[in-house]
């Protein structure tokens, strides 16, 4: 069974440029998460989707970040314009709808470097 797929794996851009990350969750997983991991820190939740509905986006910096999950499957996370502090690894994760243990399946991440 295929895991969570993310692209691109690495992205280097200059500040003020836009960038987008794509995620394809595990088949059948209704819940999708975007996390950001800064260097030396644990992942932090940005947004959580139940099917196509964003049910928790309290941590998403809405002035420059946006996300969508059309048709409740793939998801895209966009940053426009990027700032130096956005350099991080962006992790996508998915889980079954009624997971009660908090077990999430993570992709390999997209490493963003903003120059």
Q: Does 41 engage in binding with another protein (CB under 8 A)?
A: yes
Min dist CB 111 to another protein, Å, is 9
Q: What are phi and psi of 63, to 5 degrees?
A: -70, -25
Query: Segment contacting another protein (CB under 8 A): 17-25, 69-77, 79-87, 91-99?
Result: 91-99
Min dist CB 89 to another protein, Å, is 9
Q: Does 28 engage in binding with another protein (CB under 8 A)?
A: no
Q: What are phi and psi of 20, to 5 degrees?
A: -135, 145
Of 47 and 114, which CB lies nearer to another protein in the complex structure?
Answer: 47
Of 17 and 37, which CB lies nearer to another protein in the complex structure?
Answer: 37
Compute how many other C-beta atoms are within 10 angstroms of the C-beta atom of residue 34. Answer: 27
Six-digit token string for 73 = 């499957």
């Amino acid at each position: 069974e295929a895991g969570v797929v993310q692209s691109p794996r690495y992205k280097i851009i200059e500040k003020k440029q836009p960038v987008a990350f794509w995620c394809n969750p595990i088949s059948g997983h209704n819940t999708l998460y975007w996390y950001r991991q800064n260097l030396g820190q644990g992942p932090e939740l940005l947004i959580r989707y139940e099917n196509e509905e964003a049910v928790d986006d309290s941590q998403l910096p809405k002035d420059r970040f946006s996300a969508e999950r059309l048709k409740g499957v793939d998801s895209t996370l966009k940053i426009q314009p990027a700032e130096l502090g956005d350099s991080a690894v962006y992790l996508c994760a998915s889980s079954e709808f009624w997971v009660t243990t908090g077990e999430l399946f993570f992709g390999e991440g997209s490493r963003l470097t903003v120059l």
